[in-house]
């Protein structure tokens, strides 16, 4: 979600599937019916409510066991009311651990990139690298712009891309995340820049689930196609 009030479905693509021991053939096997596809969608949506827990495979099996017992009306193996507070604490602890990991990794990444010749680091902490020079007009905070872009995590994982969709995005300069707003106002139409966004100029400690974890530093490749008025 690049925009403060923009449609998530417009900006974020479907969540990438994690690597598992399941064969590609099984993973890509088509679902047998429209009802199966809708129920699979239900499972995907439920999975997104679990992002804050950072579950491993064994922990996921325990979650599945709880779902099975609940859906099938079996007796609960635990006192749900007694465990509720502990569940809240577990989520908070894991979120804090994720936030610290992302902040530490982001700080190291930003420091390394800042030493790269040819990059510009703004006072805000945003790092900009020019990839292509443009000679067109420069947008103001009040303008809308047409852009092609890709967004990646610092490990290189692609989490959103207008190029992959094949359609440029039209966005308000003052409605996007702060690092985008700052970068766009320094670019000219026809230019292309790589920007590295500290978490505080992107999605902060909230993140943007499921793709962007709390405290994540992000990398965007932005091509400014036009100013739209």
Distance (Å, whole) CA 184 – CA 221: 12
For the segment 141-158, the average pLDDT, to the nearest whole number, is 97
Answer whether CATH 3.10.50.40 is correct for domain 92-228. Answer: yes
> What is the pairing mode between strands 192-197 and 144-153?
unpaired
Tens of pLDDT, residues 113-131: 999 999 999 999 999 999 9
> Which DSSP helix (H) or strand (E) runs through 225?
strand 218-228
Quote the DSSP letter at residue 16: P
Bridge partners (DSSP) of residue 158 are: 152
pTM of the full structure: 0.76
Closest CA to 116 of 196, 38, 7: 196
CB 196 within 8 A of CB 126: yes
pLDDT of residue 5: 30
Q: Which pair of tokens denotes residue 10?
A: 């417009």
How distant, in Å, are the alpha carbons of 2, 12, 218 from that of 151? 10, 10, 7
For the segment 122-149, the average pLDDT, to the nearest whole number, is 96
Tens of pLDDT, residues 70-127: 999 999 999 999 999 999 999 899 999 999 999 999 999 999 999 999 999 999 999 9
Instruction: Give yes or no for residue 215 having a pLDDT over 50.
Output: yes
pLDDT of residue 29: 81
pLDDT of residue 27: 63
Share of the chain above pLDDT 70, in %: 88
Bridge partners (DSSP) of residue 150 are: 161, 221
Distance (Å, whole) CA 113 – CA 149: 20
Of 16-20, 108-112, 141-145, which range is least confident?
A: 16-20
Instruction: Give yes or no for residue 181 having a pLDDT over 90.
Output: yes
pLDDT of residue 209: 82
Instruction: Give yes or no for residue 17 having a pLDDT over 70.
Output: no
48 or 64, which is more confident: 64
Closest CA to 1 of 154, 169, 195: 169
Average pLDDT, the chain: 88
What torsion, rounded to 10 degrees, do the Cα atoms 59, 60, 63, 64 define? Answer: -140
For the segment 125-140, the average pLDDT, to the nearest whole number, is 96
Share of the chain above pLDDT 90, in %: 77
Confidence class for position 161, pLDDT limits 50, 70, 90:
very high
């Amino acid at each position: 979600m690049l925009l403060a009030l923009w449609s998530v479905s417009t900006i974020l693509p479907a969540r990438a599937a994690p690597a598992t021991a399941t064969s590609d053939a099984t993973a890509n096997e088509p679902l047998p019916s429209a009802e199966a596809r809708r129920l699979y969608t239900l499972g995907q949506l439920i999975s997104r409510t679990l992002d804050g827990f950072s579950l491993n495979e064994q922990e996921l099996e325990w979650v599945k066991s709880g779902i099975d017992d609940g859906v099938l009306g079996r007796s609960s193996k635990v006192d749900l009311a007694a465990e509720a507070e502990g569940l809240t604490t577990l989520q908070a602890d894991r979120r804090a651990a994720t936030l610290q990991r992302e902040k530490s990794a982001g700080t190291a990444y930003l420091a390394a990139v800042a030493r790269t010749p040819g990059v510009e680091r703004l006072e805000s902490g945003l790092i900009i690298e020019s990839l292509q020079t443009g000679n067109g007009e420069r947008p103001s905070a009040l303008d809308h712009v047409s852009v092609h872009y890709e967004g990646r995590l610092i490990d290189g994982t692609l989490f959103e891309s207008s190029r992959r969709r094949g359609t440029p995005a039209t966005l308000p300069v003052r409605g996007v995340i702060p690092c985008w707003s700052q970068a766009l106002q320094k670019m000219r139409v026809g230019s292309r820049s790589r920007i590295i966004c500290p978490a505080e100029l992107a999605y902060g400690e909230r993140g943007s689930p499921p793709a962007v974890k709390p405290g994540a530093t992000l990398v965007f490749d932005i091509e400014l196609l036009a100013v739209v008025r």
